[in-house]
Amino acid sequence: MKYLFLLLLVPLTSWCDSPDLTHRLGVSLSAGFDIPVSGNNFDEDANGEFVAGIAGRYQLTPKSSLQLGYTRFEWSNSPAAVRLYDVMYLYRVTSLDWITPILGIGAGAVDIANYNIDENLKLGLRGRVGAEWIISKEVVMDFVVDYLYVCQMPGEEGTLESNEIQAFAPQVVATYYFM
C-alpha cells in the first residue's frame, strides 16, 4: 500500500515548482450552484439551482491572468436567468505552488431573461475567492466561490432595485491551456 501512495506522489513531484503558464491562452468550463442572498426581493421568489459558464483565460504573469467569460445563473421556482458577460482579473497568491489561493474581481453586462423588468442590460459585479490546483502543464482546476451583485448601469433609470439580485456561487472551474 505504501508503494501505491508513493507512485501517486511521483507526478506531483516531477517538477520542483509548478509550471509557468505565463503568456498562455486557455479555455475554462465552470459548473456549480447558486445561493441567492437572503433578504432581497428576488430571493423571495426563487431558490438557487445551478451556475454554468465558459471563458477564455490569458495568463499575464505567473501570478495574474485575465478572463473573458459568459456565466448563466439559474433559479428553481422562477423562469428568470441571469446571463453575465464579463471580464475578470484573477490573482494567484503564490505563483510557483501547485495549490494556491486565488482571488478575482470582475465586471460586465447582465441580461436578465424572463424577469419582469425593463429590457436594458444591467451592471454585474463579481468577486471570487478560492483555491487553484495546477494538475499539469495544460490543466488547472479551481475550487471557488463567486459573489454576484446586479445593479443598474451608471446613469440608468429603471425598475431594478439596487439590492434585488445578489448571489453566492460555489463552483468547480477546469481550464485547459492550449497555447
Query: Which are the contacts of 50, defined by CB distance < 8 A and separation ≥ 6?
Result: 31, 32, 33, 34, 74
pLDDT surpasses 90 at 28:
yes
> Between residues 1 and 104, which one has the greater pLDDT?
104
pLDDT surpasses 50 at 6:
no
Domain 19-177 carries which CATH code? 2.40.160.20
Q: What is the mean pLDDT of residues 9-13?
A: 48
Grid cell locating 66: 485575465
> Between residues 157 and 1, which one has the greater pLDDT?
157
pLDDT at residue 4 in the model? 46
pLDDT surpasses 60 at 140:
yes
User: If pLDDT is split at 50, 70 and 90, which confidence band does 43 have?
Assistant: low
Query: Which are the contacts of 47, defined by CB distance < 8 A and separation ≥ 6?
Result: 36, 75, 76, 77
